[in-house]
């Protein structure tokens, strides 16, 4: 699949290692064995995350309470490891919860290019501002309103299409006697019908046929609705 090892290393190995190191409790380092300037073997060195000492030093009762918290549940659901989630909550409980909420919202809007866990770790550890600006909130509200309006429009259009199909089916099912009766009512109501053909219950002239068809569809649709 990859013509050169450097492409494989860049696209697969480095990205995978970075992802693991971002969201797990271990640190992985790839090590390559070369033969005749070519990579013959790859092995991965695994070390414990330095945060482990903070985790292991905590009180077990406190850790149990943290595991039962909403912050812990939300952080681990995003892909943050148990140890790291506990560490964050111990160190900065308010920011830990705020991070989870912020990343959840970004993920819901498909605004995260990588993994939610990696993104959460990045913004938590880099001290990013997690507040949503008034302008951004206004833009989100406009987007949500537009989306809601579009969904309503689609619902209305779908209902109209369904009624149109039902009306067409009802007209198609009319007998010749019913067609003649309806055409007679149309003419009695003032419709133009110089080209009316009683044997078929239709109008030969295009304009007259179009006008009658519009009246017929409206009449049948009203019957169905009633």
When pLDDT is averaged across residues 105-110 and rounded to a whole number, the result is 86
- pLDDT score recorded for residue 197: 92
Largest CA distance in the chain: 98
When pLDDT is averaged across residues 178-184 and rounded to a whole number, the result is 93
What span, in angstroms and rounded, lies between the C-alpha atoms of 60 and 78? 23
Looking at every residue in the chain, the average pLDDT score rounds to 83
Are 79 and 117 a contacting pair, CB within 8 Å?
yes
Q: Flag whether pLDDT at 2 surpasses 70.
A: no
Torsion of CA 136, 139, 141, 146, to 10 degrees: -160
pLDDT digits (tens, 9 = 90+) for 67-76: 899 999 999 9
What span, in angstroms and rounded, lies between the C-alpha atoms of 79 and 118? 8
When pLDDT is averaged across residues 112-133 and rounded to a whole number, the result is 81
What span, in angstroms and rounded, lies between the C-alpha atoms of 100 and 80? 10
Collapsing DSSP to helix, strand or coil, 65 comes out as: helix
Chain centroid to Cα 213, Å, comes to 42
pLDDT digits (tens, 9 = 90+) for 19-73: 666 656 678 888 888 887 787 788 888 887 665 544 454 566 778 888 899 999 9
Are 6 and 102 a contacting pair, CB within 8 Å?
no
What span, in angstroms and rounded, lies between the C-alpha atoms of 216 and 211? 9
- pLDDT score recorded for residue 54: 45
- The model's confidence at residue 125, banded by pLDDT at 50, 70 and 90, is confident
What span, in angstroms and rounded, lies between the C-alpha atoms of 195 and 215? 16
- The first and second tokens of residue 9, run together, are 């290393």
Of 146, 98, 154, the C-alpha closest to 124 is 98
C-alpha distances (whole Å) from 50 to each of 4, 20, 25, 181 are: 35, 14, 8, 88
What span, in angstroms and rounded, lies between the C-alpha atoms of 223 and 170? 10
- The first and second tokens of residue 96, run together, are 């830990």
What span, in angstroms and rounded, lies between the C-alpha atoms of 182 and 47? 86
- The model's confidence at residue 80, banded by pLDDT at 50, 70 and 90, is very high
- The model's confidence at residue 219, banded by pLDDT at 50, 70 and 90, is very high
The percentage of the chain sitting over the pLDDT mark of 90, rounded to a whole number, equals 28
Collapsing DSSP to helix, strand or coil, 81 comes out as: coil
Of 79, 83, 81, 18, the C-alpha closest to 44 is 18
């Amino acid at each position: 699949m990859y013509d050169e090892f450097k492409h494989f290393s860049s696209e697969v190995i480095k990205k995978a290692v970075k992802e693991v190191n971002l969201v797990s409790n271990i640190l992985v380092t790839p090590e390559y064995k070369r033969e005749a300037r070519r990579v013959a073997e790859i092995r991965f060195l695994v070390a414990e995350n330095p945060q482990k000492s903070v985790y292991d030093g905590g009180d077990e009762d406190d850790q149990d309470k943290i595991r039962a918290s909403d912050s812990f549940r939300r952080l681990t659901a995003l892909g943050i490891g148990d140890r790291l989630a506990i560490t964050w909550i111990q160190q900065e409980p308010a920011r830990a919860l705020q991070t989870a909420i912020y990343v959840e919202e970004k993920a819901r809007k498909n605004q995260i290019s990588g993994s939610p866990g990696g993104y959460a770790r990045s913004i938590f550890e880099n001290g990013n501002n997690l507040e949503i600006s008034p302008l951004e909130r206004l833009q989100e509200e406009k987007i949500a309103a537009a989306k809601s309006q579009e969904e309503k429009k689609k619902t209305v259009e779908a209902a109209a299409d369904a009624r149109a199909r039902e009306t067409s089916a009802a007209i198609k099912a009319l007998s010749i006697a019913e067609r003649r009766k309806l055409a007679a009512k149309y003419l009695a109501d003032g419709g133009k019908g110089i080209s009316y053909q009683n044997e078929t219950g239709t109008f030969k002239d295009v304009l007259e046929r179009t006008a009658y068809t519009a009246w017929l569809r409206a009449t049948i649709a009203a019957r169905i609705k009633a």
